[in-house]
Amino acid sequence: MSSNTRHVPVMLQRCLDMLAPALAEPGAVVVDCTLGLGGHSEALLSAFPAARLIALDRDPAALKLAGERLAPFGDRATLVHAVYDELPEVLDRLGTPRVQGVLFDLGVSSMQLDEADRGFAYAQDAPLDMRMDQTTGISAADVLNTYAPGELVRILRAYGEEKQAKRIVEAVVRERAKEPFTNSARLVELIRDALPQAAKRTGGNPAKRTFQALRIEVNGELASVERAIPAAVKALAVGGRIAVLSYHSLEDRLVKQVFAAGAATTAPAGLPVVPERYQPRLKLLTRGAELPTEEEVAENRRAAPARLRGAERIRENVEDTA
């Protein structure tokens, strides 16, 4: 299947509108930190003909497909194999210390969900892999088969917000002693059997939260987001804008905290005049998180959990000017 037919970029027009004021000038650089199949990147290059794009992805398969899609734009697009928290090193290497726009579309790409053998989706049987970059790191099967029970409970509670974590982990530990886990269907079945009837009646597939938790652990997603969002804010030139799409409350909370801190004054209480060094560095572009429209969710069910936040850089850091 071609990348165009299976990939519908989430909240695309809203992201373009949010970044537009920063990308109109010739020479503007926009970074797509989560290239995926290149839907957002293609739209950015089309909408802003004077802009250059730097796009990052940790998945070599995504880079190859997106590279074919973006080939018509020639040297306006620079694609880099990197995790998004490596943004400062990437910009340094490319000699681009400041950029005018940054976009994050966090979560799993359509391709990773759609390719059965990647093991991201609980709806079809596949090897329990879940690595976004299959050339490195541990798989979901490794996590299930080797982590201590207490650590597994922590992961399911923290990353999957799974209330039945203890019950699921007890079943996992019992089963892995008989035979290590290799495939997703066995895990899905185990979760169904482990949960009480009441827990199965709400919230869609009962395996959803466990699969989310394993994916976040395998790819170190929250730690990457925690490093990447402040780094991206720091890379923005004054007047530059950042837009971030999150798909679960843990990511959205991290984004909210970074933006709120940047938009707050750091002055001690009671100063009659706030000196420049204490002034906010960011202006928020969204009131809370914006949600996709009902029409968009009807067309693209993967947009349903999306939350969009945006901010504009309105002044330099003190340390940047020192």
pLDDT in tens, 28-79: 999 999 999 999 999 999 999 999 999 999 888 889 999 999 999 999 999 9
Give the separation between CA 34 and CA 86, rounded to whole angstroms.
Answer: 12
Which stretch of DSSP H or E encloses residue 289?
A: none
Q: Is 57 marked as a binding-site residue?
A: yes
pLDDT tens-digit readout, 252-299? 999 999 999 999 988 888 888 888 888 999 999 999 999 999 999 999
Q: Is 112 marked as a binding-site residue?
A: yes
Residue 201 is classified by DSSP as: S
* Contact of 281 with 237, CB cutoff 8 Å: no
**Summary mean pLDDT of the chain:** 89
Confidence of residue 4 (pLDDT cuts 50, 70, 90): very low
Q: Which domains does the chain have, with CATH numbers?
A: 3-111+221-321 (3.40.50.150), 116-219 (1.10.150.170)
Phi-psi region of 175 (alpha: psi -120 to 50; beta: other; left: phi over 0): alpha
Residue 15 is classified by DSSP as: H
What is the reported pLDDT for 202? 64
What would the mean pLDDT of 304-319 be, rounded to a whole number?
89
Lowest mean pLDDT among 87-91, 111-115, 167-171, 230-234: 111-115
Percent of the chain's residues with pLDDT above 70: 89
- Global pTM? 0.84
Strand partners, 79: 55
Q: Is 38 marked as a binding-site residue?
A: yes
pLDDT tens-digit readout, 190-240? 999 998 876 666 667 788 889 989 998 998 888 899 999 999 999 999 999
Between helix 60-70 and helix 39-47 the angle, nearest 10°, is 30
Tally Cβ neighbours within 10 Å of residue 298. Answer: 11
